[in-house]
């Protein structure tokens, strides 16, 4: 945005265009939405010899295509030929080789043409391992191909089954042996969307197993990480303090609590998180809760949406004008300090307000979307609780075809179980051998 030039970050395809596709629908620009669908349908090609992040490609590209497909079916109907779903299926299959591991925990990188690079790192973060259930689950339902739902749940179970006796999960894990390499437990960076997808998958798919997992880990978080109203990082085994920091990625948590229905502690925490924005103008990557200072070398704010996302949920839940005012203040900060001729620039230092020549695709996919929805209360997304957001802010309509129905019942309420292990036994529907052979049948499955 400073140099007014673009560059390749996550893959040689139209990342920002795909990631922000459903934002056009939210803003009721259906003409441009249809135009972009046509452009992507004609020009987008994933058959390339490039290495991509499995996590980022899933949440930004696969999620963007699936949301765009579902919204196209809803809003442009007969003028849409389903090409976005074909593209989603294509990129989904190209991600599958990453899941060919003994534990089910995926590699972090895959080559779109050849599979997993030969010397690929065998350590991944928790979020990178287990943030697939929404996108992969929807892809399975839309294509009648169960492999995506299976590998996503297998990866989530692999993380869940390696939680500590305190019920906590760590930050980074070795994928072949399933051993934790970084044992700090927290709600922020490298773990955040693991929790998010447990709850959202439970709600979206009416899935009792995800619901049980979330409820158990939620109790552990409240017991060991919550220092009202803040959250800290602790050792996952001893519960001893690791980092007394607020990180801007933690700011999604109050919104998730509101989605769960735990409103009062969510509001208390959100008020505290928001106080840092009001003090500094932005939320930095890390803020030391003991010293009251921004952590050195972690002073940036790359236009992240998490605080705004939680303010959005808070306003929907309470209609308290304080949150409307808060959103207005955020817009003021963005316009005063980040707005430049060719977009909005990331804040390199929240103290000096120095800018960085970068605008991530999530600024359009999430930050702008949540701000817009706060002020457009009659937007279709805000009516009737009929949509859920992915971790990249992509809109997925909650439909009966995606949800598990209880046997001999018309109800779609989530089933409760006495413990999650009971569900794991019930849902043990596929053996690793058949799963591995199926990946080989779906893709080249090469490790080059």
Question: What sign has the CA pseudo-torsion 85, 89, 94, 98?
Answer: positive
Rounded Cα–Cα distance for residues 62 and 57 (Å): 6
pTM: 0.93
Rounded Cα–Cα distance for residues 149 and 151 (Å): 6
Residue 70: predicted pLDDT: 98
The full DSSP string for 53-85 is EHHHIIIIIIHHHHHHHHHHHHHTGGG--SHHH
Rounded Cα–Cα distance for residues 212 and 230 (Å): 25
DSSP 247: -
Residue 438: predicted pLDDT: 60
Residue 14: predicted pLDDT: 86
Instruction: Please give the average per-residue pLDDT across 290-319, as a whole number.
Output: 98
340 DSSP β-pair partners: 343
Rounded Cα–Cα distance for residues 159 and 179 (Å): 10
Residue 254's alpha-carbon distances to 192, 315, 355, 389, 430, in angstroms, are: 12, 12, 28, 15, 36
pLDDT tens by residue, 209-263:
999 999 999 999 999 999 999 999 999 999 999 999 999 999 999 999 999 999 9
Statement: residue 395 has pLDDT above 60: yes
329 or 401: which carries more pLDDT confidence? Answer: 329
Statement: residue 413 has pLDDT above 80: no
Question: What sign has the CA pseudo-torsion 152, 156, 157, 158?
Answer: positive
Statement: residue 414 has pLDDT above 60: no
**Contacts with 46 (C-beta within 8 Å, 6 or more apart), sequence order:** 13, 87, 90, 91, 94, 112
Rounded Cα–Cα distance for residues 151 and 130 (Å): 10
Closest of 265, 263, 193 to residue 229, by C-alpha = 265
Instruction: Please give the average per-residue pLDDT across 278-290, as a whole number.
Output: 97
State the pLDDT confidence band at 327, using cuts at 50, 70 and 90: very high
Kind and range of the H or E element at 91? helix 83-95
Residue 288: predicted pLDDT: 98
Rounded Cα–Cα distance for residues 252 and 392 (Å): 11
Rounded Cα–Cα distance for residues 46 and 23 (Å): 23
Statement: residue 352 has pLDDT above 60: yes
Residue 78: predicted pLDDT: 85
Residue 50's alpha-carbon distances to 10, 47, 114, in angstroms, are: 10, 9, 9
Closest of 228, 118, 110, 130 to residue 172, by C-alpha = 130
Statement: residue 280 has pLDDT above 50: yes
Statement: residue 278 has pLDDT above 90: yes
Rounded Cα–Cα distance for residues 127 and 55 (Å): 8
pLDDT > 90 fraction of the chain, expressed in percent and rounded: 86
CA angle 92/95/100 to nearest 5° reads 125
pLDDT tens by residue, 66-125:
999 999 999 998 889 999 999 999 999 999 999 999 999 999 999 999 999 999 999 999
Residue 400: predicted pLDDT: 87
Closest of 179, 209, 180, 186 to residue 197, by C-alpha = 209
Rounded Cα–Cα distance for residues 137 and 305 (Å): 24
């Amino acid at each position: 945005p400073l140099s007014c030039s673009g560059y390749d970050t996550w893959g040689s395809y139209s990342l920002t265009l795909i990631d922000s596709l459903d934002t056009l629908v939210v803003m009721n620009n259906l003409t441009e939405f249809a135009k972009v669908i046509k452009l992507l349908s004609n020009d987008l090609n994933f058959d390339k010899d490039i290495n991509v992040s499995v996590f980022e490609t899933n949440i930004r590209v696969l999620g963007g295509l699936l949301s765009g497909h579902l919204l196209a079916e809803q809003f442009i109907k007969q003028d849409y030929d389903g090409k976005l779903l074909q593209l989603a299926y294509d990129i989904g299959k190209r991600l599958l080789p990453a899941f060919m591991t003994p534990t089910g925990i995926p590699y972090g990188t895959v080559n779109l043409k050849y599979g997993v690079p030969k010397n690929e790192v065998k350590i991944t973060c928790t979020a990178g391992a287990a943030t697939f259930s929404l996108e992969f689950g929807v892809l399975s339902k839309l294509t009648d191909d169960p492999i995506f739902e299976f590998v996503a749940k297998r990866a989530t179970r692999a993380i869940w089954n390696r939680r500590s006796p305190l019920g906590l999960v760590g930050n980074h894990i070795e994928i072949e042996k399933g051993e934790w390499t970084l044992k700090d437990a927290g709600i922020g960076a490298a773990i955040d969307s693991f929790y998010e997808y447990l709850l959202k998958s439970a709600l979206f798919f009416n899935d009792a197993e995800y619901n049980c997992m979330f409820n158990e880990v939620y109790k552990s978080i409240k017991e060991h990480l919550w220092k009202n109203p803040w959250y800290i990082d602790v050792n996952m085994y001893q519960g001893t303090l690791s980092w007394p920091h607020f990180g801007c990625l933690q700011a999604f948590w109050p919104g998730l609590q509101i989605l769960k229905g735990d409103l009062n502690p969510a509001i208390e925490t959100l008020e505290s998180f928001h106080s840092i924005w009001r003090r500094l103008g932005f939320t930095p990557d890390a803020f030391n809760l003991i010293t009251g200072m921004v952590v050195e070398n972690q002073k940036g704010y790359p236009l992240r949406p998490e605080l705004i996302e939680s303010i959005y949920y808070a306003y929907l839940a309470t209609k308290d004008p304080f949150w409307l005012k808060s959103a207005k203040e955020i817009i003021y900060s963005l316009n005063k300090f980040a707005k430049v001729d060719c977009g909005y620039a990331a804040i390199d230092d929240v103290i000096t307000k120095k800018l960085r020549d970068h605008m991530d695709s999530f600024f359009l996919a999430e930050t702008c979307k949540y701000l817009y929805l706060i002020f457009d209360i009659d937007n279709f997304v805000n009516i009737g609780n009929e949509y859920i957001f992915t971790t990249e802010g992509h809109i997925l309509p909650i439909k009966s075809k995606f949800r598990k129905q209880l046997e001999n019942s018309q109800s779609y309420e989530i089933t409760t179980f006495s413990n999650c292990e009971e569900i794991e036994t019930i849902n043990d529907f596929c053996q690793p051998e058949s799963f591995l052979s199926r990946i080989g049948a779906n893709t080249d499955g090469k490790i080059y």
